């Protein structure tokens, strides 16, 4: 039996070991660069003449030889794969070559999950990361026809389970870890989902409803009557459930972009009589510091080039269409419910509903002042009821 010389060669002598700092001193480029930045208290020549500590030599038993290959192994190729996988064989990687990088994207979807709602409907919540800030922005996606291209893209060395965990599947997941009786029933049920990659999305019959909504803790969670943000979010979700499709792009831009802490300071100034615009200016902020590049990127990732935008704000329309292929084919107004009741003459029947979700309706003098400032100072396209003018 003959062996490759690399298998029997003795280990390199430990006498050849040289510390890293000695190698630096031997480098001819080291002297020039080192001399300009450091003042030496030792001689390079003396350093190299100093005995270098040596590690104890290791004795190798030359009598040990690798075992001879068995006949069964003789037919197996000895070429090793360049990629090593740690995933179970039952879930092989879906790709062995890197896919397109997301480095050029402004925002990309990292995960999604199905969210059931109290009325029996559901939507898919998408989580987006981006290059503009360190926040996770969201997209509430209603209907199966709208899909994230970045989420569906195959990632390096991922398995089918990896794709399921990210939410990169079509259809609905079925329970595979329930009790034995239910598991037996599910085992006979064809899989209701697929992790396969498709370049084609289901065709939308018309431009979907879209609401670009900025986070408002006080209006959505805190039961505040200073604004109608919670009411607008709830109405947008209601309309999309009714239509069977749509997207709420939820941007983490609290207080028109100034943050919750500064927004609370602005509330104190509003209690002194200043309106929302002046309060922001007195805090050295702009009247509206929100940006919409991330919203543009999310809509593009979802393949939405034509949208019906739920908004009263002309600036939002301009910013969404700016430098993008997105076209707002229709503006769908969002009339405050309390003002709508005044116009329709049903104010006496108007019922205020508080809560974080579902049928939230607000009313109050502070809300009316807030809405009038939007119309008079921020170009919002809603009509002030004549009874209030």
Catalytic residues: 288, 290
Query: What are residue 246's DSSP bridge partners?
Result: 142
CA atoms within 13 A on the CB side of 64: 4
C-alpha to C-alpha distance for 72 and 75, rounded to whole angstroms: 7
Nearest residue to 212 (alpha-carbon basis) of 323, 312, 280 = 312
Whether 84 and 37 have beta carbons less than 8 Å apart is answered as no
- Which residues, 6+ apart, have CB-to-CB distance to 293 below 8 Å? 106, 132
The two beta strands, 209-214 and 246-251, are parallel
Report the largest interatomic distance among the alpha carbons of the chain, rounded to a whole angstrom: 104
Burial of 325 (0-12, 13-18, 19+ CB in 10 A): exposed
- Work out the angle between the directed axes of helices 337-344 and 365-377 (0-180°, nearest 10): 90
The two beta strands, 193-194 and 306-310, are unpaired
The two beta strands, 137-142 and 170-171, are unpaired
């Amino acid at each position: 039996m003959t062996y490759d010389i690399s298998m029997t060669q003795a280990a390199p002598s430990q006498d050849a070991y040289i510390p890293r700092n000695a190698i630096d001193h031997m480098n001819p480029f080291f002297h020039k660069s080192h001399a300009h930045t450091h003042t030496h208290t030792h001689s390079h020549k003396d350093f190299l003449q100093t005995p270098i500590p040596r590690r104890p030599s290791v004795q190798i038993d030359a009598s040990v030889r690798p075992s001879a290959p068995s006949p069964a192994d003789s037919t197996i190729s000895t070429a090793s794969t360049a990629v090593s996988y740690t995933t179970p064989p039952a879930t092989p990687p879906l790709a062995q070559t890197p896919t397109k990088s997301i480095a050029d994207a402004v925002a990309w979807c990292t995960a999604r999950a199905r969210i059931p709602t109290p009325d029996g409907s559901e939507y898919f919540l998408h989580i987006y990361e981006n290059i503009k800030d360190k926040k996770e922005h969201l997209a509430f996606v209603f209907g199966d026809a709208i899909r994230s291209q970045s989420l569906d893209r195959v990632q390096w060395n991922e398995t089918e389970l990896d794709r399921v965990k990210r939410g990169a599947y079509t259809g609905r997941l079925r329970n595979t870890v329930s009790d034995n009786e239910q598991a037996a029933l599910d085992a006979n049920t064809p899989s209701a989902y697929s992790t396969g990659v498709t370049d084609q999305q289901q065709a939308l019959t018309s431009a979907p409803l879209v609401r670009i909504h900025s986070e408002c803790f006080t209006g959505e969670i805190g039961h505040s009557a200073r604004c109608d943000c919670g009411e607008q979010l709830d109405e947008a979700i209601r309309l999309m459930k009714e239509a069977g499709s749509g997207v709420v792009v939820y941007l983490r831009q609290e207080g028109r972009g100034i943050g919750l802490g500064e927004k609370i300071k602005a509330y104190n100034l509003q209690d002194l009589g200043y309106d929302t615009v002046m309060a922001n200016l007195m805090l050295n902020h702009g009247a509206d510091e929100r940006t919409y590049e991330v919203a543009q990127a999310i809509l593009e990732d979802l393949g939405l080039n034509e949208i019906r935008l739920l908004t009263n704000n002309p600036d939002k329309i301009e910013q969404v269409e700016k430098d993008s292929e997105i076209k707002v084919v229709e503006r769908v107004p969002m009339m405050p419910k309390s003002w709508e009741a005044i116009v329709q003459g049903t104010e006496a029947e108007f019922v205020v509903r508080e809560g974080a979700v579902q049928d939230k309706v607000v009313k109050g003098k502070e809300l009316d002042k807030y809405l009038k400032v939007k119309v008079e100072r921020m170009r919002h396209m809603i009509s002030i009821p004549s009874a209030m003018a």
